[in-house]
Structure 1
């Protein structure tokens, strides 16, 4: 089940690290496009009700899944199992990711933040 969020006129949901937009959704899946601004990063987080698959489509940065940290360049892909700690960070350029979520409950409230540069713990 998905829960809509307020969006700006172009359909993007603004966050302190950048923005995301929902591209598609269906029974137990959702596809989003995320833009993480240069030098900013998502919270260190995990999800209890979904797994994610990230595909870097543009820009540069860094991806972390559990203890593994890797460079993020176009073509980089990573699977994030349900419950795995993860984070993405923009590098010298903005980082653009297509994210496929799968699970029984797909909601922005299914984010457990362990660390956050913007005080959203």
Structure 2
């Protein structure tokens, strides 16, 4: 048996577990691969590589979002992960690499509240540039042209609370972008 992450084996042989989610406990099984993430859990026989290919093909038709989207979304500047969703709100955990910055952008249907939990953010809202430190927050009104960047040497971590009538990613109107995304 082998594990990468938290796993317990009892009366199990030749099993491989990879988990960055919950504890995986195996009892009385042999020759399994278990992969547990925040998105999904995969359990498969080790010797059936073709079965895994068939499963991925089936998942693409039955649950396409599982194969295309993930809870943690990687971007050139860092990553974000949705923490909570409601009809008129969404909460994200955003991590910005040192020197990274998001596009200069605006939204027609939502406002945003940013709370810095680690590091320092340089925030542009319309013509105002402000430094926001740990345990401080800033409000981005609906329609305001804004940008966040990490001028520091450590990862910038913040919580973003979006409120509004539409919270989809296609409500981002990019005005300027270091990564040439449209």
In structure 1, distance between residues paired with 2:113 and 2:78: 19
Query: Which residue of 1 is the match for residue 109 of structure 2?
Result: 49
Higher share of residues assigned helix: 2
Q: Which has the larger radius of gyration?
A: 2
C-alpha deviation, 1:67, in angstroms: 1.1
TM-score w.r.t. structure 1 length?
A: 0.90
C-alpha deviation, 1:72, in angstroms: 2.5
Query: Which residue of 2 is the match for residue 23 of structure 1?
Result: 83
Range with bigger deviation, 69-78 or 101-110? 69-78
**Is it true that 1:68 corresponds to 2:128 in the alignment?**
yes
C-alpha deviation, 1:90, in angstroms: 1.0
Structure of greater relative contact order (alpha carbons < 8 Å, 6+ residues apart): 1
5 Å-filtered alignment, 1:1-121, equals 6-7=69-70, 11-92=71-152, 93-121=154-182
- Which portions of structure 1, spanning 4 or more consecutive aligned residues, are displaced by more than 6 angstroms? none
Higher share of residues assigned strand: 1
Q: Deviations over 1:63-107 (max 9, x none)?
A: 111111111210221111110011110122221110000111110
Consecutive unaligned residues of structure 1, counting only runs of 5 or more, are none
TM-score w.r.t. structure 2 length?
A: 0.61
2:150 alignment partner, SS class: strand
C-alpha deviation, 1:61, in angstroms: 3.0
Q: For the Cα contact (< 8 Å) 2:118–2:156, is it kept in 1?
A: yes
C-alpha deviation, 1:56, in angstroms: 0.6
